[in-house]
Amino acid sequence: MVKVLPSVLKVPNDDIQKAIDAVIDVVDGIHYDVMDGKFVPPTTFTIEDFRALRIPIFTDIHLMVDHPEEVILDYAKAGAKLLTIHHEAKQRDVRSTLEQIKKLGCLAGLSIKPRTLVSEVPDDLWEYADVALIMSVEPGWGGQSFISEVLDKVRYLRKKFTYKDINIDGGINDETGLQAVHSGCTMLVSGSYIFTSPDYRQAVERLQHIDE
Ligand code: DX5
Ligand code: ZN
């Protein structure tokens, strides 16, 4: 079964807890988008926002920030299980940030934007990361269209790292999700598709069973 992680980015602030509660017992985790207004133009959730939520399941924090090394401790302490950082961020040493994440007892995710080549990240870094996150839209906004060219990166990583979890984020629905899974993804992040559908849970289950 494919792991599905709903992104609550576009859910109105006052409805986020309700949206999480509605899917909590069917999803594989919650994907939480953190943006600093520098790595990407928008600013989103802060650590205080995260602490205020009740998310008693696997939580994936997508750190679209220039200095993830400065915030990972706070998110780990607040209960995050997977911390995903960007290779393009301004942090000085990606490897050491991934190491710190693992030392905190979390899984370490490594992400690249659509225009970053998979070969710009050394193989040993992909190897070291627990999860590879391929962005299939420009990070910063929900509700954009899927960029299908990024599937080449998924195929490349799948061939090279047979057992690695490969996650994909942006424009995932029941068509693009199937393409992603056929290319080698084991995890799907999906925001608009789930939270604009009349039945969130059914949308999650459709994605989980997409290749059956
Ligand atoms: C975009 C975020 C995504 C976004 C996905 O920068 O990283 O997680 O919320 O939303 P959809 O599924 O609407 O593209
Ligand atoms: Zn995201």
| Mean pLDDT per 10-residue section of the chain, whose length is 212 residues | 97 97 98 98 96 97 98 98 98 95 98 98 97 98 98 98 97 98 98 98 98 92
From ligand 1's centre to the CA of 162, what distance in Å? Answer: 26
Active site residue 169: yes
Please identify every residue whose CB atom is under 5 Å from ligand 2, which is an ion: 33, 62, 169
Q: What is the pLDDT of residue 91?
A: 87
pTM of the model: 0.97
Nearest-CA residue for ligand 1 atom 9 is: 142
Structure token digits, residue 183: 């290319």
Q: Is the CB of 113 under 6 A from ligand 1?
A: no
What's the Rg (C-alpha) of the chain? 16
Estimate the crossing angle of helix 16-23 against helix 200-208, to 10 degrees: 50
**Dihedral over alpha carbons 15, 16, 17, 20 (to 10 degrees):** 120
Q: Is 103 helix (H, G, I), strand (E, B) or coil?
A: helix
Rounded to whole angstroms, the Cα distance separating 173 from 152 reads 18
From ligand 2's centre to the CA of 135, what distance in Å? Answer: 8
Q: Measuring CA to CA, which residue among 196, 200, 188, 105 is closest to residue 154?
A: 188
Say which of 28, 33, 36, 60 is annotated catalytic: 33
Q: What is the pLDDT of residue 126?
A: 98
Size of the chain in residues: 212
Rounded to whole angstroms, the Cα distance separating 202 from 10 reads 19
Say which of 169, 174, 199, 211 is annotated catalytic: 169
Q: Are 72 and 91 in contact (CB under 8 A)?
A: no
Q: Is 82 helix (H, G, I), strand (E, B) or coil?
A: strand
Helix (H) / strand (E) element for 6: namely strand 3-6
Active site residue 33: yes
Q: Is the CB of 207 under 6 A from ligand 1?
A: no
